[in-house]
Amino acid sequence: MLKLWGRISSINVRKVVLAAQLLELPFERIDAGAAFGIVRTPDYRRRIPMRWCR
């Protein structure tokens, strides 16, 4: 299953969600972003390749 981390208000997240739906791929979207506070947790930061930029 595809795990998608991001807000649905993000255009890039919307593109991936649309692609997954069109391809009928199972996915789980997890709200992440400034308003949700997940992006500052150590677990999330380990998952992103560009974590040194923030």
Strands (E), the chain: 2-5, 27-30
CB neighbours of 31 closer than 8 A, spacing ≥ 6? 6, 7, 8, 38
Residue 51: per-residue pLDDT: 59
Encode pLDDT of 19-28 as tens digits: 999 999 999 9
Range in 5-9, 11-15, 33-37 with the lowest mean pLDDT: 33-37
> What ranges do the domains of the chain cover?
2-53
Predicted model pTM: 0.67
- Phi and psi for 36 in degrees, rounded to 5? -95, -15
Encode pLDDT of 28-42 as tens digits: 998 887 677 676 778
Instruction: Indicate the CATH number of 2-53 among 3.40.30.10, 1.20.1250.20, 3.20.20.70, 3.40.1350.10.
Output: 3.40.30.10
